[in-house]
Chain A
Amino acid sequence: MSEKIDFSHVRFLIVDNNRLMGKLVKDILAMLGATQVAMARDYDGALTMLRSGNVDVCITEWNLKPRSGLELLDFIRNDATSSDRMLPVIMLTANSEMEYVVESRDKGVTEFLAKPFTADGLYRRLVMVIARPRDFVSVKGYFGPDRRRQQLPFDGPDRRDSGN
């Protein structure tokens, strides 16, 4: 028997200021069986949802205005009022360059996925944060998932052709 993943009881929060993108991610989650998907368009909206404590996985864009997805991640990981500092956070962003990957990692992101993404790429990140959760490290200057991780082989694309 192999492991299965049942998304129906997982509570998701999608934070994206683009209506079409937010809806698409929500539709993808619904097709995967998710039934509890909340959405926010900005930092403050996300904070309200997070403070309710009813979020298991947060999927956020970096480029939120006026405060960014990175600031949201910083709040989740480091603010004394954060309801769950170990909440899995997937940074799903068109800030696809390496500097953003590194900065997200250093702020304690759980997974990073660059837009334009593939459904496969998103699915794998969901599986990683739910079925392969990482331990956390607290050290001066960093609170977040243990960055030493097993590298698993994968032969498919994470991203669609971005012309890079």
Chain B
Amino acid sequence: MSSDIRSPKPKFIPNRGDLKRKAVNFKKGLELKLDDGLRDKLNNLVQESAAAFLDESAARIKALREQVSHMPADPAARKNLVEEIREEAFQIKGMGGLFGFPLLTEFAKSLHDFLKETDDDLDELQQEIVSIHVDTMYVVIAHKIAGSGGALEAQLRASLKAAVDKAKHKATQA
């Protein structure tokens, strides 16, 4: 555990400035404002990793789809699976938009937000909502849907919402 070594009274400590002295000069290096050429190179570098991201995410989401459709009976295994889905949603939330798939980030965020508020033992409705999210994310990945504001994206968004609403409605009728 951390020990509290903070001062009882406010104390201002000047920055040592050693890192600045090490890296900042007037002769060699990059401008402090990123120039367009380097920005383009960096963006290209990011895009070069997009294919790896899609391949890896597709494989993991595919495996999760299979597992979600056969939810384990053992509570410990169910808990592990939910944790795995939560982690995957978190990772995709952070990376989808980076690699040009903002809709994927949006759906992953929706799933992650949902799982943040549930415990690890999902009921039937919660399982269905998770399953719908996982399926929808798989569609985005499988079809490499890169936009966020077009008709197809709006349709997917609406489908996800309709499916979740339907699952909720079915649960209230049961």
- Interface residues in B107-124 by Cβ distance below 8 A to A read 107, 109
Given the interface pairs A4-B32, A31-B42, A86-B16, the reply to whether A138 lies near B10 with Cβ below 8 Å is yes
1/0 per residue, CB under 8 A from A, across B142-167: the answer is 00000010000000000000000000
Contact B45 A27 (CB under 8 A): yes
Q: Is the interface of B mostly helix, strand, loop or mixed?
A: mixed
Complex-state Cα separation, A138 to B4, whole angstroms: 11
Cβ contact of A139, chosen from B6, B32, B96, cutoff 8 A: B6
Given the interface pairs A18-B95, A94-B94, the reply to whether A28 lies near B42 with Cβ below 8 Å is yes
- Is B173 an interface residue when CB atoms closer than 8 A count as contact? no
Given the interface pairs A4-B25, A86-B16, A163-B102, the reply to whether A137 lies near B11 with Cβ below 8 Å is yes
- Interface residues in A1-21 by Cβ distance below 8 A to B read 1-10, 18, 20-21
1/0 per residue, CB under 8 A from A, across B25-57: the answer is 111111110100011011101100100110010
- Is A106 an interface residue when CB atoms closer than 8 A count as contact? no
By a CB distance below 8 angstroms, the chain A residues around B23 are: 5-7, 9-10, 130-131
Contact B25 A6 (CB under 8 A): yes
**Chain A residue with minimal CB distance to B91?**
A18
Query: How many residues of chain B have a CB within 8 Å of chain A?
Result: 58
Given the interface pairs A5-B29, A7-B29, A86-B13, the reply to whether A161 lies near B102 with Cβ below 8 Å is yes
Contact A116 B96 (CB under 8 A): yes
Contact B109 A164 (CB under 8 A): yes
Given the interface pairs A161-B97, A162-B109, the reply to whether A140 lies near B7 with Cβ below 8 Å is yes
- Is B141 an interface residue when CB atoms closer than 8 A count as contact? no
- Is B2 an interface residue when CB atoms closer than 8 A count as contact? yes
Q: What are the 6 A-B residue pairs with the smallest beta carbon separation, nearest first? A: A163-B106, A94-B94, A116-B97, A115-B94, A6-B29, A119-B42
